[in-house]
């Protein structure tokens, strides 16, 4: 089994040294979902929510979150992101909104944390904007779907 990289030999937390790592094109895709009452989904879909365009605001929040990830996760390196794309898809059969974020960079470390943070915050924004009408919403299945680049190579969830 591999060892945890965020601890030194004395067991103290530290930021991983990436100085000698190669700069590569890195991509991470993360996803998750929020389920809700049918009426809540209808408000969002029809853009009848009194707070405005819920999905548009959630996309913006997700982009902002990706840019702030290193400020939220203590040992995460600050990255120069080259691209963030957030897709929000409505499934009326299950009253669910699926969120997927694709994050990209040219760098020495991956963008998995940025993609995961982006999905979380986009879904939390939907919750925040709709909690007055539906406190029973459930955010779930936040996960890394794919990553490419770097020394460890490509990984795809199966």
How do residues 84-123 score in pLDDT, each as one tens digit? 999 999 999 999 999 999 999 999 988 999 999 999 999 9
Catalytic residue among 17, 53, 91, 128: 128
Predicted confidence (pLDDT) at residue 134 exceeds the cutoff of 80: yes
- d(C-alpha 105, C-alpha 79), whole Å: 7
- Domain at 37-151, CATH class: alpha beta
Where do the domains of the chain lie? 37-151
Residues 6+ away with beta carbon under 8 Å from 74: 13
Lowest mean pLDDT among 71-75, 80-84, 124-128: 71-75
Q: Is 128 a catalytic residue?
A: yes
Tokens representing 31 are 């996803």
Instruction: Give 18-25 contacts, CB < 8 A, sequence gap 24+.
Output: 18/77, 18/108, 18/109, 19/108, 21/108, 21/109, 21/150, 21/151, 22/108, 22/151, 23/106, 23/107, 23/108, 24/106, 24/107, 24/149, 24/150, 25/104, 25/105, 25/106, 25/148, 25/149
pLDDT score of 22: 84
């Amino acid at each position: 089994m591999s060892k945890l990289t965020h601890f030194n030999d004395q067991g103290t937390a530290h930021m991983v040294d990436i100085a000698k790592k190669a700069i590569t094109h890195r991509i991470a895709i993360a996803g998750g979902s929020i389920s809700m009452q049918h009426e809540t989904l209808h408000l969002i879909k029809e853009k009848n929510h009194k707070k405005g365009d819920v999905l548009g605001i959630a996309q913006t929040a997700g982009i902002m979150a990706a840019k702030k990830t290193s400020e939220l996760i203590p040992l995460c390196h600050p990255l120069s992101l080259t691209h963030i794309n957030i897709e929000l898809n409505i499934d009326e059969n299950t009253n669910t909104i699926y969120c997927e974020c694709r994050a990209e960079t040219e760098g020495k470390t991956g963008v998995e944390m940025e993609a995961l943070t982006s999905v979380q915050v986009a879904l939390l924004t939907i919750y925040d904007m709709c909690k007055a009408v539906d406190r029973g919403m459930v955010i779930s299945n936040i996960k890394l779907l794919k990553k490419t680049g770097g020394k460890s190579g490509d990984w795809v969830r199966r």
